[in-house]
Protein backbone atom coordinates (compact mmCIF):
# COMPACT_ATOMS: atom_id res chain seq x y z
CA UNK A 1 0.00 0.00 0.00
CA UNK A 2 1.46 3.34 -1.02
CA UNK A 3 1.98 6.32 1.24
CA UNK A 4 -0.70 8.36 -0.49
CA UNK A 5 -3.19 5.53 -0.16
CA UNK A 6 -2.44 5.19 3.56
CA UNK A 7 -2.99 8.91 4.09
CA UNK A 8 -6.24 8.73 2.15
CA UNK A 9 -7.49 5.84 4.32
CA UNK A 10 -6.58 7.67 7.52
CA UNK A 11 -8.42 10.74 6.27
CA UNK A 12 -11.50 8.65 5.48
CA UNK A 13 -11.41 7.09 8.95
CA UNK A 14 -11.23 10.53 10.57
CA UNK A 15 -14.18 11.72 8.49
CA UNK A 16 -16.13 8.60 9.40
CA UNK A 17 -15.36 9.11 13.10
CA UNK A 18 -16.45 12.73 12.96
CA UNK A 19 -19.62 11.68 11.15
CA UNK A 20 -20.27 9.05 13.84
CA UNK A 21 -19.66 11.52 16.67
CA UNK A 22 -21.90 14.10 14.97
CA UNK A 23 -24.65 11.52 14.46
CA UNK A 24 -24.49 10.44 18.12
CA UNK A 25 -24.54 14.06 19.32
CA UNK A 26 -27.44 14.96 17.02
CA UNK A 27 -29.43 11.91 18.12
CA UNK A 28 -28.75 12.67 21.78
CA UNK A 29 -29.81 16.29 21.36
CA UNK A 30 -32.99 15.26 19.54
CA UNK A 31 -33.88 12.74 22.26
CA UNK A 32 -33.20 15.31 25.00
CA UNK A 33 -35.30 17.94 23.21
CA UNK A 34 -38.22 15.53 22.90
CA UNK A 35 -37.93 14.47 26.53
CA UNK A 36 -37.60 18.08 27.69
CA UNK A 37 -40.63 19.14 25.66
CA UNK A 38 -42.98 16.26 26.29
CA UNK A 39 -41.75 14.12 29.22
CA UNK A 40 -39.42 15.74 31.77
CA UNK A 41 -41.41 17.57 34.48
CA UNK A 42 -40.23 21.17 34.97
CA UNK A 43 -41.21 24.44 36.64
CA UNK A 44 -43.12 22.40 39.23
CA UNK A 45 -45.15 24.16 41.94
CA UNK A 46 -47.01 22.26 44.66
CA UNK A 47 -50.75 22.89 44.46
CA UNK A 48 -51.17 22.36 48.20
CA UNK A 49 -48.68 25.14 48.89
CA UNK A 50 -50.44 27.47 46.47
CA UNK A 51 -53.85 26.60 47.89
CA UNK A 52 -52.63 27.21 51.44
CA UNK A 53 -51.19 30.61 50.48
CA UNK A 54 -54.55 31.67 49.02
CA UNK A 55 -56.39 30.51 52.13
CA UNK A 56 -53.92 32.25 54.43
CA UNK A 57 -54.34 35.51 52.51
CA UNK A 58 -58.11 35.28 52.82
CA UNK A 59 -57.79 34.54 56.51
CA UNK A 60 -55.62 37.62 57.01
CA UNK A 61 -58.01 39.85 55.06
CA UNK A 62 -61.16 38.52 56.68
CA UNK A 63 -59.96 37.30 60.07
CA UNK A 64 -62.03 39.70 62.21
CA UNK A 65 -65.11 39.09 60.08
CA UNK A 66 -64.72 35.32 60.35
CA UNK A 67 -64.37 35.54 64.13
CA UNK A 68 -67.55 37.60 64.37
CA UNK A 69 -69.46 35.16 62.15
CA UNK A 70 -68.21 32.21 64.21
CA UNK A 71 -69.27 33.92 67.42
CA UNK A 72 -72.73 34.75 66.09
CA UNK A 73 -73.60 31.41 64.50
CA UNK A 74 -77.34 30.95 64.80
CA UNK A 75 -79.46 27.89 65.42
CA UNK A 76 -80.67 28.14 61.81
CA UNK A 77 -77.10 27.85 60.49
CA UNK A 78 -76.46 24.87 62.73
CA UNK A 79 -79.58 23.25 61.35
CA UNK A 80 -78.29 23.80 57.82
CA UNK A 81 -75.00 22.14 58.73
CA UNK A 82 -76.89 19.11 59.99
CA UNK A 83 -78.89 19.06 56.76
CA UNK A 84 -75.66 19.14 54.71
CA UNK A 85 -74.41 16.02 56.46
CA UNK A 86 -77.37 13.94 55.27
CA UNK A 87 -76.38 10.87 53.31
CA UNK A 88 -76.53 11.43 49.53
CA UNK A 89 -78.69 9.27 47.28
CA UNK A 90 -76.49 7.71 44.58
CA UNK A 91 -77.41 5.68 41.49
CA UNK A 92 -75.40 4.59 38.47
CA UNK A 93 -76.02 7.94 36.79
CA UNK A 94 -77.06 10.37 39.52
CA UNK A 95 -76.03 11.93 42.81
CA UNK A 96 -78.38 13.86 45.08
CA UNK A 97 -77.53 15.59 48.34
CA UNK A 98 -78.62 18.79 50.01
CA UNK A 99 -75.81 20.69 48.25
CA UNK A 100 -75.08 18.82 44.99
CA UNK A 101 -77.25 17.38 42.23
CA UNK A 102 -75.71 15.48 39.30
CA UNK A 103 -77.68 13.69 36.60
CA UNK A 104 -75.91 12.02 33.67
CA UNK A 105 -77.72 11.13 30.45
CA UNK A 106 -76.28 9.18 27.51
CA UNK A 107 -77.60 10.29 24.14
CA UNK A 108 -76.86 9.30 20.55
CA UNK A 109 -76.40 12.08 17.99
CA UNK A 110 -74.19 12.57 14.93
CA UNK A 111 -73.44 8.83 14.96
CA UNK A 112 -71.73 9.35 18.32
CA UNK A 113 -72.28 8.41 21.97
CA UNK A 114 -72.50 11.60 24.03
CA UNK A 115 -72.58 11.86 27.82
CA UNK A 116 -74.35 14.89 29.29
CA UNK A 117 -74.06 15.83 32.98
CA UNK A 118 -76.61 18.28 34.38
CA UNK A 119 -75.12 19.72 37.57
CA UNK A 120 -76.73 21.97 40.18
CA UNK A 121 -74.77 23.24 43.16
CA UNK A 122 -75.65 25.09 46.33
CA UNK A 123 -72.19 26.71 46.46
CA UNK A 124 -69.59 27.58 43.82
CA UNK A 125 -66.98 26.11 46.17
CA UNK A 126 -68.10 22.67 45.01
CA UNK A 127 -66.80 23.39 41.47
CA UNK A 128 -63.04 22.88 41.65
CA UNK A 129 -59.96 22.03 39.64
CA UNK A 130 -57.31 19.43 40.44
CA UNK A 131 -53.75 19.10 39.17
CA UNK A 132 -51.86 15.93 38.33
CA UNK A 133 -49.77 14.80 41.30
CA UNK A 134 -51.11 17.84 43.14
CA UNK A 135 -48.49 19.95 41.34
CA UNK A 136 -48.34 22.59 38.62
CA UNK A 137 -45.63 22.15 35.99
CA UNK A 138 -44.79 21.26 32.43
CA UNK A 139 -45.20 17.51 31.68
CA UNK A 140 -46.64 16.66 35.11
CA UNK A 141 -49.45 14.24 34.23
CA UNK A 142 -51.83 11.65 35.66
CA UNK A 143 -55.02 10.02 34.45
CA UNK A 144 -58.27 11.88 35.06
CA UNK A 145 -59.51 9.04 37.27
CA UNK A 146 -56.36 9.17 39.41
CA UNK A 147 -56.56 12.93 39.96
CA UNK A 148 -60.26 12.59 40.76
CA UNK A 149 -59.62 9.95 43.40
CA UNK A 150 -56.77 11.99 44.91
CA UNK A 151 -59.21 14.89 45.38
CA UNK A 152 -62.14 12.85 46.75
CA UNK A 153 -64.19 13.97 43.76
CA UNK A 154 -67.75 12.87 43.08
CA UNK A 155 -67.61 13.78 39.40
CA UNK A 156 -64.74 14.85 37.12
CA UNK A 157 -63.74 15.56 33.53
CA UNK A 158 -60.37 16.39 32.00
CA UNK A 159 -59.33 20.05 31.97
CA UNK A 160 -57.36 22.13 29.47
CA UNK A 161 -54.02 20.21 29.54
CA UNK A 162 -52.18 23.44 30.39
CA UNK A 163 -48.92 21.47 30.80
CA UNK A 164 -48.63 20.89 27.06
CA UNK A 165 -47.95 24.62 26.58
CA UNK A 166 -45.74 27.32 28.07
CA UNK A 167 -48.27 30.10 27.41
CA UNK A 168 -51.88 30.83 28.31
CA UNK A 169 -53.41 31.97 31.58
CA UNK A 170 -53.68 29.31 34.28
CA UNK A 171 -55.58 29.90 37.52
CA UNK A 172 -56.71 27.04 39.71
CA UNK A 173 -58.82 27.36 42.86
CA UNK A 174 -57.96 31.03 43.26
CA UNK A 175 -54.20 30.74 42.68
CA UNK A 176 -52.67 32.29 39.54
CA UNK A 177 -49.97 29.92 38.30
CA UNK A 178 -49.32 31.47 34.89
CA UNK A 179 -50.06 34.95 33.54
CA UNK A 180 -48.29 34.68 30.17
CA UNK A 181 -50.51 35.44 27.19
CA UNK A 182 -50.61 33.14 24.21
CA UNK A 183 -49.29 34.59 20.95
CA UNK A 184 -51.88 35.87 18.52
CA UNK A 185 -55.09 37.83 18.95
CA UNK A 186 -57.77 35.13 19.03
CA UNK A 187 -57.09 33.13 22.18
CA UNK A 188 -60.23 32.69 24.26
CA UNK A 189 -60.19 31.61 27.91
CA UNK A 190 -62.92 30.49 30.26
CA UNK A 191 -63.05 32.42 33.53
CA UNK A 192 -65.04 31.12 36.50
CA UNK A 193 -65.74 33.63 39.26
CA UNK A 194 -66.34 33.30 43.00
CA UNK A 195 -70.12 33.34 42.54
CA UNK A 196 -69.98 30.48 40.02
CA UNK A 197 -70.59 32.66 36.97
CA UNK A 198 -68.75 32.07 33.68
CA UNK A 199 -67.15 34.55 31.30
CA UNK A 200 -65.33 33.95 28.01
CA UNK A 201 -62.51 36.45 27.51
CA UNK A 202 -59.80 37.11 24.93
CA UNK A 203 -56.28 37.11 26.38
CA UNK A 204 -55.31 40.02 24.12
CA UNK A 205 -57.94 42.23 25.79
CA UNK A 206 -57.39 41.63 29.52
CA UNK A 207 -54.53 40.58 31.78
CA UNK A 208 -54.65 37.67 34.17
CA UNK A 209 -54.05 40.12 37.03
CA UNK A 210 -57.13 42.11 36.07
CA UNK A 211 -59.22 38.93 36.06
CA UNK A 212 -57.84 38.03 39.47
CA UNK A 213 -58.90 41.44 40.79
CA UNK A 214 -62.42 40.85 39.41
CA UNK A 215 -62.73 37.70 41.52
CA UNK A 216 -61.68 34.93 39.15
CA UNK A 217 -61.00 31.57 40.79
CA UNK A 218 -60.46 29.40 37.69
CA UNK A 219 -59.00 30.30 34.27
CA UNK A 220 -58.79 27.67 31.50
CA UNK A 221 -56.87 28.39 28.29
CA UNK A 222 -57.75 25.83 25.65
CA UNK A 223 -60.82 26.88 23.71
CA UNK A 224 -62.32 28.12 21.65
CA UNK A 225 -65.40 29.55 23.27
CA UNK A 226 -68.56 27.85 22.01
CA UNK A 227 -71.39 30.03 23.33
CA UNK A 228 -71.24 33.59 24.61
CA UNK A 229 -74.25 35.42 26.02
CA UNK A 230 -76.53 32.72 24.61
CA UNK A 231 -75.16 32.85 21.05
CA UNK A 232 -73.00 30.30 19.25
CA UNK A 233 -69.61 31.90 18.48
CA UNK A 234 -67.92 29.15 16.40
CA UNK A 235 -68.51 28.53 12.73
CA UNK A 236 -69.13 25.27 10.90
CA UNK A 237 -65.51 25.21 9.66
CA UNK A 238 -63.80 26.23 12.91
CA UNK A 239 -61.45 23.73 14.51
CA UNK A 240 -58.70 23.47 17.10
CA UNK A 241 -55.24 23.75 15.55
CA UNK A 242 -53.87 20.49 14.14
CA UNK A 243 -57.07 18.64 14.98
CA UNK A 244 -59.31 16.42 12.90
CA UNK A 245 -62.81 17.68 12.10
CA UNK A 246 -64.65 15.12 14.23
CA UNK A 247 -63.20 14.22 17.62
CA UNK A 248 -63.90 13.07 21.12
CA UNK A 249 -64.82 16.29 22.92
CA UNK A 250 -65.10 17.78 26.40
CA UNK A 251 -67.05 20.98 27.03
CA UNK A 252 -68.33 22.85 30.04
CA UNK A 253 -71.23 25.30 30.02
CA UNK A 254 -73.30 27.43 32.35
CA UNK A 255 -77.07 27.78 32.16
CA UNK A 256 -76.93 30.19 35.10
CA UNK A 257 -74.53 30.47 38.05
CA UNK A 258 -74.49 27.17 39.98
CA UNK A 259 -76.31 25.33 37.16
CA UNK A 260 -73.95 23.71 34.67
CA UNK A 261 -73.88 21.35 31.72
CA UNK A 262 -70.73 19.27 31.12
CA UNK A 263 -70.51 17.18 27.95
CA UNK A 264 -68.06 14.47 26.90
CA UNK A 265 -68.37 12.65 23.58
CA UNK A 266 -66.72 9.52 22.29
CA UNK A 267 -65.04 9.52 18.89
CA UNK A 268 -62.43 8.07 16.54
CA UNK A 269 -63.94 4.58 16.83
CA UNK A 270 -66.16 2.41 14.63
CA UNK A 271 -69.01 2.99 17.12
CA UNK A 272 -68.63 6.77 17.48
CA UNK A 273 -67.49 9.23 14.86
CA UNK A 274 -67.01 12.22 17.16
CA UNK A 275 -68.22 15.82 17.01
CA UNK A 276 -67.21 19.00 15.25
CA UNK A 277 -66.91 22.16 17.34
CA UNK A 278 -70.05 23.52 15.69
CA UNK A 279 -72.01 20.37 16.54
CA UNK A 280 -70.72 20.57 20.12
CA UNK A 281 -71.77 24.22 20.38
CA UNK A 282 -75.22 23.40 19.02
CA UNK A 283 -75.63 20.67 21.60
CA UNK A 284 -74.65 23.00 24.45
CA UNK A 285 -77.16 25.57 23.20
CA UNK A 286 -79.89 22.91 23.05
CA UNK A 287 -79.33 22.30 26.76
CA UNK A 288 -79.79 25.99 27.51
CA UNK A 289 -76.19 27.10 28.07
CA UNK A 290 -75.66 30.86 28.03
CA UNK A 291 -71.86 30.43 28.17
CA UNK A 292 -69.95 27.34 26.98
CA UNK A 293 -66.31 26.49 26.39
CA UNK A 294 -64.34 23.75 24.66
CA UNK A 295 -61.82 21.98 26.91
CA UNK A 296 -59.09 19.60 25.74
CA UNK A 297 -60.48 16.78 23.59
CA UNK A 298 -59.25 13.83 21.58
CA UNK A 299 -57.57 11.19 23.69
CA UNK A 300 -57.90 13.40 26.78
CA UNK A 301 -61.71 13.41 26.81
CA UNK A 302 -62.77 11.53 29.95
CA UNK A 303 -65.81 11.66 32.21
CA UNK A 304 -65.52 10.03 35.64
CA UNK A 305 -68.35 9.57 38.14
CA UNK A 306 -68.51 7.88 41.52
CA UNK A 307 -65.39 5.80 40.98
CA UNK A 308 -66.07 4.75 37.37
CA UNK A 309 -65.18 6.03 33.90
CA UNK A 310 -68.40 6.89 32.10
CA UNK A 311 -67.31 7.25 28.46
CA UNK A 312 -64.89 5.37 26.18
CA UNK A 313 -61.63 7.37 26.22
CA UNK A 314 -59.64 6.70 23.06
CA UNK A 315 -55.86 7.07 23.06
CA UNK A 316 -53.65 5.95 20.17
CA UNK A 317 -56.44 3.84 18.71
CA UNK A 318 -57.13 1.98 21.97
CA UNK A 319 -59.87 2.40 24.56
CA UNK A 320 -57.87 3.70 27.50
CA UNK A 321 -57.28 6.87 29.49
CA UNK A 322 -54.64 9.38 28.52
CA UNK A 323 -52.66 11.06 31.28
CA UNK A 324 -53.43 14.79 31.51
CA UNK A 325 -52.33 17.86 33.45
CA UNK A 326 -55.55 18.72 35.21
CA UNK A 327 -59.25 18.08 35.77
CA UNK A 328 -62.47 19.93 36.56
CA UNK A 329 -64.33 18.21 39.38
CA UNK A 330 -67.27 18.39 41.76
CA UNK A 331 -66.85 17.74 45.47
pLDDT tens sequence for the chain (331 residues): 666 666 666 666 666 666 666 666 555 544 444 444 445 554 677 766 565 555 555 544 444 444 443 444 344 344 444 445 679 999 999 999 999 999 999 999 999 999 999 999 999 999 999 999 999 999 999 999 999 999 999 999 999 999 999 999 999 999 999 999 999 889 999 999 999 999 999 999 999 999 999 999 999 999 999 999 999 999 988 887 645 578 999 999 999 999 999 999 999 999 999 999 999 999 999 999 999 999 999 999 999 999 999 999 998 778 999 999 999 999 9
CB atoms under 10 Å from CB of 210, counted, come to 11
Residue 12 has phi, psi (to 5 degrees) of: -65, -40
- What is the model's pLDDT at position 23? 61
Distance CA(219)–CA(197), nearest Å, equals 12
Q: Against a cut of 0.85, is the pTM above it?
A: no
- pLDDT score of 73: 38
Domain ranges of the chain: 1-40, 41-330
3-class secondary-structure state, position 103: strand
Order across the sheet with 170-172: list the strands.
175-178, 170-172, 216-220, 188-193, 198-202
Q: Long-range contacts made by residues 82-90, C-beta under 8 angstroms, separation at least 24?
A: 90/306
Amino acid sequence: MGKNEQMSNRKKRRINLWALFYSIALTGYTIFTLLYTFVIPRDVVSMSGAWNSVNQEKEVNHGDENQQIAGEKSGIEEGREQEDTMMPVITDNSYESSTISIKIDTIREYDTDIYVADIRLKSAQSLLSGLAKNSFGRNVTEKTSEIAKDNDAIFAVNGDFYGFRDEGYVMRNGYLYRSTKRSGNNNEDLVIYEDGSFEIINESEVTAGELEEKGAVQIFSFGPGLIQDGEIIVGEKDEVDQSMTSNPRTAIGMIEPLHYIIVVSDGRTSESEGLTLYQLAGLMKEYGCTQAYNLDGGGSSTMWFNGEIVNQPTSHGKIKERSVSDIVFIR
